[in-house]
Each structure stands twice: as C-alpha cells, then as structure tokens.
Structure 1
C-alpha cells in the first residue's frame, strides 16, 4: 500500500501535535515532516519531500503565504492545503490563485482534513462548501457597471470551445479520466487541454484555474 506522505507546518505546538496524532491513525498516511514555521519547513524539505503539506498562514519567520509562493516555484508537485482561522473571502481566492489546492478552517472536522488530503492527491483540488460560497460571494459582489456580460474573450483569455468544455467539467470537480469518458477523448488529450488552460489563464494548478473561472464569471 502506497502511503501519502504528509507535512504539517504550524507554530502552535499543541494544535500541531494533536493533529499529528489524528493523522497518524490513518493507515495510508505517513507524517514525514513537522515544522513550526515556513522557513523551518523549507530547510527540512530536501530530507523528506511530502506529497501534501497542511500549512498554517500566520506564523513567525516565514508565514504561510510566502511559504506557498516558494513551494509553487521550487516544489510545484507538493500539494498545499491551507489550515487556518482566517475566513476572509479575498484571502481564500488569493491563495487559490497562487496555487493552493485546498483551504480549510481549523475548526474543520478531522474527517474533512482526511478527505481534503485524498481529494488533492486524486483530483488536484479540494473545494469545500466554505470555499465554494466564498467564490459565489465574489461573483455576486463583482461590480458590473457599464460592463458587458463576461465571456472567455473579454476576460482577456481566449479559449477554444473544447477548452471551455474541459474547464467547465474541471470546475464541476470531474477528474481527467471522468472528463475523457464524457467527451470521448483520451486522458492524455484532456490533460493537454488542461495544461493549455493553465498556460492561458496564468494559473498554477487546478485550484487556481477554478478560482480564475469563478473570479471572472466564466460560467
């Protein structure tokens, strides 16, 4: 059984140790790295590179936002799930656009933390109800005075019809395999479309792509 390698980065020792104990009880989870701040985490990465990092935002020395930006540039394969008390909509969308794969509040149920880890490993993104509502509020509050209806074109991104279709299914949470079965294309072709959408939208990963689509009212 392949284990999912986890890292836990939080400056509150009691919270970190408590969550570490909970995660260690999941048979296919392996906690390979703990750190009290972003810099400590970055220094330890070369010894054991995790698959997923559970990352606090407010930490001394190097905070979560700066740590996430560093990871996206130097370790793009590490999935980032933010675990924080900050519930501001703008922070959620900002971090998703920066390449974070999931956003959880610290009062989340342990089962949801486990689910988020599995989702970002399997699908590249975990969008819970809290994040989805933040995205919808952003759409609702977007000023549209003397502004034409949003399209893929006036958002300065030109996507082909097939790319629009693939992006729509990605936003609905479908995996590459599921999309390929729906539109009768090979998974490799679907992945090619996904990569072109990433390039055109300037986003870092699936979560950023979905955040971009919501932020620009593409659907």
Structure 2
C-alpha cells in the first residue's frame, strides 16, 4: 500500500512534535520531513518530494505565503494545506487564489486534518465550513458595496450551461464521482468540464477555481 507522504512546516517545535505524533498514528500517512520555515522546507524538498505540505503562515526567514508561491511555481503537483491561527476572510481567499488546496485553523480536530489530506489527494481541494463561510461573507460584502452582477452572463468568461452546473457543484464540495452521479454524466466527462473551467478562469487548480468563482460572483 502506497503511503501519503507529508511535510510539516511550522516554526513552533512543540506544535510540530504534536502534529508528528498525530500523523504517525495514521497507518497510510508518512511524515517524510519537518521544517521550521519555508526556506528550510524548500532545501529539503529538493531532495525528496512530499505529496502534501502542511504549511504555517507566520514564520521567520521565509513565511508561508512566499513558500506557497514558490511551491506552486516550482512543484505544482504538491498539494498545500495551510494550517494556521489566521482566520481573516481576506487571507483565506487570497491563499486559495494562489492555489493552496485547503485552509485549516490550528484549533481544528485531528480528524479534520486527516480528512483534509485525503480530500486534497483525491479531489484536489478541501473546503470546510470555515472556508465556505469566509467565501460567502466575502461575496456578500462585495455585493453590498457594488452593483450585484450575474457573472455567468456578464463576466469576461463565458461558461456553458453544463460548465456552470459543474462549477456550482464543485463549489458545494462534491467530488467528481458525486457530480457524475448527480447530473448523470461519466466521471471522465465531469473531469473534462472541470479542466475547461480551469482554462477559462485561468486558475491553476480546483481550489483557485473555487476562490475565483466566489470572488467574481460566479456562484
């Protein structure tokens, strides 16, 4: 059985020790590296690639935002799950647009960390209740200070009716298989729609596409 290889990047030693203990209890997880800042992580990743990076934001030398930028540009297949105390809506949307696959607060249950890792490996994105509410608040604030738009018809991108439907379901957190069963399409066809939406929105992955959809009132 192939194990999911994880990297943990956080400047607090006690937090890393606690997380490594938790992750070590999951039979198909393997913590392959730890780092106290982004630069240390990048130096280690050059020698061994993880599948998922659990990334703190506020760190010395190289912070989480700069690290996420570097990973997206140089190692686009690595999934990034932010694990932080920062709960500002602006930061959530900003990092999802950058292409991180999930955003967790450090007071999350251990089971949610496992769930997030599995979800980003299977579907490319993990949207929990906290992230969904942050997106909705952002969209609500935007439409109260600006003229509401029906972006499916008025935005610069033009989505087909089926693409709109698939995008809505992706934003609801449904997997490819769940979408295929709900709208009676093959998983391959659903995946094709997802790839075309990525191309039309100019986003790098599913998380970025979802953030784009909320920011531009596509949902």
Same fold (TM over 0.5): yes
CA contact (8 A) 2:149 2:217 kept: no
The within-5 A match list for 1:40-51 is 40-51=40-51
Mean Cα deviation higher: 173-182 or 72-81: 173-182
* C-alpha distance in structure 2 between counterparts of 1:41 and 1:18, whole Å: 18
Structure 1 match to 2:54:
54
The within-5 A match list for 1:19-98 is 19-98=19-98
Q: CA deviation at 1:211?
A: 1.4
Structure 2 match to 1:125:
125
SS of corresponding position for 2:170: helix
Deviations 1:180-208 (A, max 9, x none): 23333332222121111111112221111
Q: CA deviation at 1:41?
A: 0.8
SS of corresponding position for 1:83: strand
- For structure 1, the 5+ residue unaligned runs are none
* C-alpha distance in structure 2 between counterparts of 1:65 and 1:154, whole Å: 32
The within-5 A match list for 1:1-12 is 1-12=1-12
Structure 2 match to 1:106:
106
CA contact (8 A) 1:138 1:215 kept: yes
* C-alpha distance in structure 1 between counterparts of 2:114 and 2:146, whole Å: 45
CA gap 1:154/1:44 in 2 versus in 1, 3 angstroms: same
CA contact (8 A) 1:5 1:52 kept: yes
Report the TM-score when normalising by structure 1.
Answer: 0.94
SS of corresponding position for 2:195: helix
Q: CA deviation at 1:150?
A: 2.2
SS of corresponding position for 1:32: strand
CA contact (8 A) 1:150 1:218 kept: yes
> Is 1:172 the equivalent of 2:154?
no
The structure where helix makes up a greater share of residues is: 2
SS of corresponding position for 1:8: strand
Report the TM-score when normalising by structure 2.
Answer: 0.94
- For structure 2, the 5+ residue unaligned runs are none
Q: CA deviation at 1:148?
A: 5.0
SS of corresponding position for 1:185: coil
Q: CA deviation at 1:213?
A: 1.5
CA contact (8 A) 1:96 1:208 kept: yes
